[in-house]
Amino acid sequence: MAVSTCPKVFPSFECRSESDFSGAPKVGGDGRQSRSRFSERLKSARGTASFQGGLSSLIFRFPPNFVRQLSTKARRNCSNIGVAQIVAASWSNNPASVPAAAASAAAAAATAATEPILPSVVDDVALVDKKVDLDVNVAVDLELEGLTNSKRSVFSSDGSLAIHAGERSGRGIVTDAITTPVVNTSAYFFDKTAHLIDFKEKRRASFEYGRYGNPTTVVAEEKISALEGAESTLIMASGMCASTVLLMALVPAGGHLVTTTDCYRKTRIFIETILPRMGITASVIDPADVGALESTLNENKVSLFFTESPTNPFLRCVDIKRVSELCHRKGALVCIDGTFATPLNQKALALGADLVLHSATKYLGGHNDVIAGCISGSMKLVSEVRNLHHVMGGALNPNAAYLIIRGMKTLHLRVQQQNSTGLRMAKVLEAHPKVKRVYYPGLPSHPEYELAKRQMTGFGGVVSFEVDGDLDTTIKFIDALRIPYIAPSFGGCESIVDQPAIMSYWDLPQPERLKYGIRDNLVRFSFGVEDFEDLKADVLQALEYI
Q: Catalytic residue positions? A: 211, 264, 337, 362
The secondary structure of the chain in percent helix, strand, coil, rounded to multiples of 5, reads 40, 15, 50
What phi, psi does 515 have (nearest 5°)? Answer: -60, -25
Residue 73, Cα to own-chain centre: how many angstroms? 13
Cα distances from 143 to residues 67, 147, 204, 447, in angstroms, run 15, 6, 17, 55
Neighbours of 96 (CB within 10 A): 12
Please give the full DSSP string across 109-138, using - where no structure is assigned.
Answer: HHHT--PPP--EE-SS---TTS-EETTTTE
Amino acid at 150: S
Sign of CA dihedral 350, 356, 360, 361: negative
Rounded Cα distance between 540 and 434, Å, is: 10
- Picking from 163, 158, 156, 127, the residue whose alpha carbon sits closest to that of residue 143 is 127
**CA neighbor of 261 nearest in space, from 289, 233, 220:** 289
Cβ contact 517:313 at 8 Å: no
Say how far apart CA 361 and CA 238 lie, in whole Å. Answer: 7
Give, in order, the Cα–Cα distances in Å from 231 to each of 81, 309, 321, 340, 354: 14, 21, 19, 22, 11
Helix axes 239-250, 379-392, angle to 10 degrees: 110
Contact between 308 and 340 under an 8 Å Cβ cutoff? The reply is: yes
Q: What does the alpha-carbon distance between residue 231 and residue 77 come to, in Å, rounded to a whole number?
A: 9
Query: What is the Cα–Cα distance from 236 to 506, expressed in whole angstroms?
Result: 29
Residue 483 CB coordination number (10 Å): 17
Half-sphere exposure in the Cβ direction for 444 (13 Å, CA): 1
